[in-house]
Structure 1
């Protein structure tokens, strides 16, 4: 039954039902005793045993990193590539903010794919051990992608890892106080040595993709460009300084890793980072924005572009806008820990000042401003925010904190009822950022964000797709 479930129509997310990946978890967890240990200490399973555990399905693993918005962007790319290669996508948890860093693609200074895979695997094991695991599917609404015509196949990391490592246990409710938990955790971490393998096909078990943004731009259905040099290359000074001998090439992901390739034979295809962004007229790593000849992928690209947070998060943001702000407002993204803010803070504040001046001319006083910031209100004194807060005749400032009741209540809603009933208590998910983004999607007077920020890009995408307008409030 476990293998057939992948191709059935899956239940959709609703406010009263468990998240999609939780349902997958309940159906796909193998009801088998643990299999025998592999005598080879490098790999936890023999490949024949691994293939028995995973069945005839083929899987795609990727290594998310950095902040949540980067991880969300990578998830979107992973959905597309898994569909192109007809593989079941292993959906990861939300990683702690910057627990794993990639480096700089423009400066050709990034962690190797094998290294970042291992770091991500170890961090996920830590999330499981400390009961801080929150699946991306508990935060991002993947139900719009469950159309039978898309044939998208997904599986929760915990379900995959239990099989992949031959554990035979339910990792969703894993408790470190259980007898034998230490050996199970050790075996789980040991699997990272296999998942981090680079460009090798271990008895058709796993193929680790070693290409990254320094050497490759993945494309799809751009036949004339397959194998050609990309327009963005390391400059001569950088080549001499870092002794770079390679060039960035545009490669068709289907031709390189699909049917007929060594990678296609592997049960698990493991990528490193799948993060990309436009840079100097090119893409840093993945350039798949349309698919005119493949209608299924073309339709999926449009659907992936529109996915957003689960209804509970969107509703919390909209209710804050309606019940707390109570009128048209402007959203300002002023997050000091945003990776791009330190580079563009002057431009960000200048843009905010200009926007406020234009609203003053329109005689919109007092101007309501939702401030999306990680700077505590007690520290606003002496800052531009403090100046705005003091001028209460012209401005009304609003912000959210982690301890606010709406944030706490929404976090509790995201823990599926089945887990609340059957598992020992874990840590509530940190969802403040997500609700803030939902609030900003409703800002009818506009949005002022930080240039180059993935958070700003996410909010702008939500606003473009009319997320605040298209989904009705529910209790």
Structure 2
């Protein structure tokens, strides 16, 4: 095909311009110049209208006054057990990168979801961060905010400086330059100006806004492209063993390549990320999959004794004393006799399709116990299936056989749960960690706070005390958590 040549085009006389009247055109030219001038003035002072992601912010001004202090944020998601798993990984990352960990709230169950790493179908890190930010602000507004530090005991980690922490609310007050006591007002409504300021903070922390001051470094690598490692010689930048197969690539039209990258080399002292006051991750959830890890593969650090020690310590992080004491008291004073714990997840996600197999495992355990234990056998039942729906199930059969079995359940309205929740709120553990930053908050800030949902935590403690054994739901992270507590023998005298 011949190249198109503008020089070969001859003018067509039919469309030749007629001579213009120069006298009439001068006013039009003057008006055009004035219009362009005013448009430029308007553009310069209103760039945010055209480029809303290029926000000139005042965030980080207070953070930058804290010389030598840099922070790490991430986006927790899914249920509580997954959130706790991510928190442990966040502690590890903060220690490796020498950053202060921003302790997040406990999110509502599945208020924010990740997706599936093995299927390469996950939310973008920006989306996750912004969803978590918005949900955290909503928890503050509705007075339902419960920090991870309110339910998990961080005192031993903080006391010996294994990691430095700051409560999310205090971080927001510094990052957004607002009075932390705004979060204590009884009226759940916030002024529009405050909400707009919080929104700008959220977009910046999430990575949506263009950050010209290098205040925030938003980590965009997620489980589709990266497996974070630490001090594994010869692996930095190498191809991970788990990759999307050809069928998945074709079906989903994806071209991801997962690489194993050393987190200290990529985001540590000699990286561009180290210049930022805040390092902002997306999800920090990981799990074993096909001989690899979905996102973080740091199980040992023989060349770094501080990190090696921390890896062992965060394997199990206990609940705060108020929750531990409540679970132990229920096991000792209510159930009393030796008992079996049955953790039966029957309604949520994949588990509802395996109800028969879950019940079969419990039945086999009880058939064995009936041959050697005195009747009735005491069973503590931890399940998401309401008692009103037990009829026609194996649980209904057990409840209808009081000569052989005595069942125990706890509900969120029980006095034990309500009183323990009040103690957790009154104690305010999250206000005590990170004391270097947590200044200026009113002492009565906790008043008016709605009671936290701690039923799951107390149930886990009770199950860890079951002397006749434990039957958990296969694949449940809650069952894994209980097994860990039983391994640590938290109910031993």
Q: TM-score normalised by the shorter chain: which range applies? A: 0.7 to 0.9
Aligned to 1:142: 154
Preserved contact between residue 72 and residue 101 of structure 2 (Cα < 8 Å): yes
Render the CA deviation track for 1:322-366: whole Å, top value 9, x for unaligned. 111111111111133444423543332221111111112223432
Distance 2:365 2:85 in 1: 28
Render the CA deviation track for 1:169-225: whole Å, top value 9, x for unaligned. 3254144368x6332133112211111117976422011011111111111111222
Aligned to 1:454: 477
Preserved contact between residue 201 and residue 208 of structure 1 (Cα < 8 Å): no
Q: What are the ranges of 5 or more consecutive residues in structure 2 without an aligned counterpart?
A: 1-45, 429-441
2:164 is aligned, of 153, 157, 161, to 153
| Structure 1, 77-86 or 219-228: larger mean CA deviation | 219-228
Render the CA deviation track for 1:78-116: whole Å, top value 9, x for unaligned. 000000000000001110111101111111110011100
1:118 is aligned, of 127, 130, 152, to 130
Distance 1:288 1:199 in 2: 31
Preserved contact between residue 411 and residue 430 of structure 1 (Cα < 8 Å): yes
- 1:293 equivalenced with 2:303 (yes/no): yes
Distance 1:469 1:367 in 2: 22
SS at match of 1:356: helix
Q: What are the ranges of 5 or more consecutive residues in structure 1 without an aligned counterpart?
A: 1-37, 471-475
1:435 is aligned, of 448, 458, 461, to 458
Give the direction of change, closer, same or farther, for the CA distance of 1:195–1:452 in structure 2 (3 Å limit): same
Aligned to 2:490: 467
- 1:426 equivalenced with 2:449 (yes/no): yes
- 1:186 equivalenced with 2:209 (yes/no): no
Preserved contact between residue 318 and residue 468 of structure 1 (Cα < 8 Å): yes
C-alpha displacement of 1:449 = 1.2
Aligned to 1:164: 175
RMSD (Å), alpha carbons: 2.2
Preserved contact between residue 181 and residue 445 of structure 2 (Cα < 8 Å): no
Render the CA deviation track for 1:10-36: whole Å, top value 9, x for unaligned. xxxxxxxxxxxxxxxxxxxxxxxxxxx
| 1:7-406 to 2 correspondences below 5 Å | 42=53, 43=55, 45-46=57-58, 49-52=61-64, 54-148=66-160, 150=162, 152-176=163-187, 181-197=191-207, 202-406=212-416
Give the direction of change, closer, same or farther, for the CA distance of 1:144–1:340 in structure 2 (3 Å limit): farther
C-alpha displacement of 1:259 = 1.3
| Structure 1, 195-204 or 449-458: larger mean CA deviation | 195-204
Distance 1:425 1:157 in 2: 19
C-alpha displacement of 1:368 = 1.0
C-alpha displacement of 1:454 = 1.3
Give the direction of change, closer, same or farther, for the CA distance of 1:371–1:242 in structure 2 (3 Å limit): same
Aligned residues: 431
Render the CA deviation track for 1:130-165: whole Å, top value 9, x for unaligned. 110001000000112124362x11000000001111
Distance 2:249 2:460 in 1: 40
Distance 2:150 2:230 in 1: 30
Give the direction of change, closer, same or farther, for the CA distance of 1:119–1:223 in structure 2 (3 Å limit): same
Preserved contact between residue 340 and residue 453 of structure 1 (Cα < 8 Å): no
Larger Rg: 2
SS at match of 1:440: helix
Preserved contact between residue 377 and residue 406 of structure 2 (Cα < 8 Å): yes
Q: TM-score, normalised by structure 2?
A: 0.83
Preserved contact between residue 47 and residue 204 of structure 1 (Cα < 8 Å): no
